[in-house]
Chain A
Amino acid sequence: MLCERCKKKEATFYYHENVNGNEKTYSLCSDCADELEKKGEFKKFGGFASELGPFESLFAGDPFEHMEALLSKQDLFGSLFAPTKTRQLAERIRAKKCPLCGMTLSDFAREGKAGCPTCYETFADELEPTIGRIHGRTAHSGRAPLKFREKNEMKNRIRVLEAEQKEAIRVENYERAAEIRDELRSLRGNA
């Protein structure tokens, strides 16, 4: 999903606020999230997802157990984080809701299955340990749908041309460099 503000970068930050029934939801890239936070639009509870990693091993066993632990806050995290941080973490996780199907992390922990394909993007950080525990790995290798294969081919083509362009400039073949520049321009325009 693209950032709803700049509509250019991938949204990696999701924010949901409910003040007396007045709901606000954001899906933003990290840059826009920083900017809005500076403007005082909201208070970002940054950096928690990466802090969760080392504690994964605490919840080995049931792949969904750690989610419940994340949600049942104080007891497990009480000794690890300052109380306010703990509360913020729990609130942040609780507030997250999949924009397509409305699933929350506690729904996921209870059902053990995603609500829609978008859930994997919405809960990417929280699900990573679960996925790692199931498969032993967290990154795909294997086939891809046509449109991704085309995208990858284009990326590879751009990489090759960029290297060629550098070389052309180095040997002062400016005519060739200009040709490559035009080709790259049209490739990037398509991408």
Chain B
Amino acid sequence: MWYRTKGRENDIAVSTRVRLARNLNGYPFDGRLTEEKAKEIIGNVWSVFDGKEGWTFTDFASLPTVERASYAERHIVSPDFAKKAGPCALISNEEKSVYIMVLEEDHLRIQAITAGFDLAGAVQAVTEAEQLLDGALDIAYSEKLGYLTHCPTNLGTGMRASVMLHLPAYTGAGGIRSLQNQLGKLGLTIRGMAGEGTAASGGLYQISNQITLGITEDETVSKLEDVIGQIIAKERELRGCISRESLDNLSDRVMRGMGVMMYATRIGSAELISLYSDVRLGAALNLLGLPTETLDEMLMRCMPNTICTEHEGVTTPADRDRARAAVVKEILGRANSAD
């Protein structure tokens, strides 16, 4: 799982995701697909992986709602996939770095997640998974429009690459709006942490390519590499410009935050996200000896539905806040004792 490993530029880059949208010839898309045909697609796709070492099949439709939502919170599946009615499946590799959503909006969404800023690693992982499918399945493709997708916005490469960045200094300096305008001109887009249509929280943003037609996979990746590299450099520069007085204030806030996280018996989800942002910045600035990936793991494991999935009997919001405080204490305690 990505949030258990250290990645490149981890002080600012949280994770990198790349997904490929693929469809099968001869089958309608979601909404026009009968249950029988849907099951046929799932069977055909799994038959490619069945028997190959390390691949696991999950009948996603049969999972309880909270567990499905937990997958979405940890960005393993899209929010739409978590809510989807009808047959759907999730196929994953042994390292849990590649996930294939079967019957999301497209017949197939092949996705790789890596820690930190690692577009090349994520692209390689999805490409390897795709190679297993290519040749075994009749993938919908036209020489003019490239890979054919349910939504015309994904035509061409069908590839969406995104990097999640922690930009508290950029946000504090009021630079996000102008960044949004600049990225738009380059065919890139910036969104809040949970993806499409969500507000930014905890200073977390996802930057991804918008255009998929008429641009190669390599061009898309190198454009993102270049632009995100510049954003990371800028965030680092802004962090370096924090005045001595502000740093003093920040340090106090970070330590108070640590106090709450170590000793509170109930922590709400919104409160944790805001604590996370302060403490992650403090950790990146070496104000305290805590690896940033520990905080990323903490955030992912403390999402509401993930708490409910991992803790039996947790149902009410108060139960959840208590369980969350316990998870935070456990993860931070483990990191402290490792020092």
Binding site for B on A (CB under 8 A): 63, 100-103, 111-118, 120-121, 124, 127, 130-131, 134-148
Q: Are B153 and A142 in contact (CB under 8 A)?
A: no
Q: Are B150 and A113 in contact (CB under 8 A)?
A: yes
Binding site for A on B (CB under 8 A): 23-29, 31-32, 105, 134-135, 139-153, 155-157, 159, 187, 211-217
Q: Contact check: which of B25, B105, B156 meets A140 at CB < 8 Å?
A: B156
Residues on the A chain within 8 Å of B139, using CB: 145
Q: Are A138 and B213 in contact (CB under 8 A)?
A: yes
A-B contact pairs, 7 of them (CB 8 A): A114-B152, A116-B27, A138-B144, A140-B142, A140-B147, A142-B156, A144-B143
Q: Are B134 and A146 in contact (CB under 8 A)?
A: yes
Residues on the B chain within 8 Å of A146, using CB: 134-135
Give 4 new A-B contacts, CB below 8 A, not counting A135-B153, A135-B155.
A127-B152, A138-B144, A144-B143, A148-B143
Q: Are B28 and A115 in contact (CB under 8 A)?
A: yes
Q: Contact check: which of A140, A142, A147 meets B144 at CB < 8 Å?
A: A140
Residues on the A chain within 8 Å of B143, using CB: 140, 144, 148
In whole angstroms, what is the CA distance A137 to B216 when docked? 12
Whether A130 touches B27, Cβ cut-off 8 Å, given contacts A116-B32, A120-B142, A145-B134, is no
Q: Are A100 and B156 in contact (CB under 8 A)?
A: no
Q: Are B211 and A135 in contact (CB under 8 A)?
A: yes
Residue of B nearest to A150 (CB): B135
Most buried by B among A114, A127, A148: A114
Residues on the B chain within 8 Å of A114, using CB: 29, 148-152
Q: Are B148 and A142 in contact (CB under 8 A)?
A: no
In whole angstroms, what is the CA distance A145 to B146 when docked? 9
Q: Are A147 and B135 in contact (CB under 8 A)?
A: yes
Residue of B nearest to A151 (CB): B143
Q: Are B145 and A131 in contact (CB under 8 A)?
A: yes
Residues on the B chain within 8 Å of A147, using CB: 135
In whole angstroms, what is the CA distance A115 to B146 when docked? 17
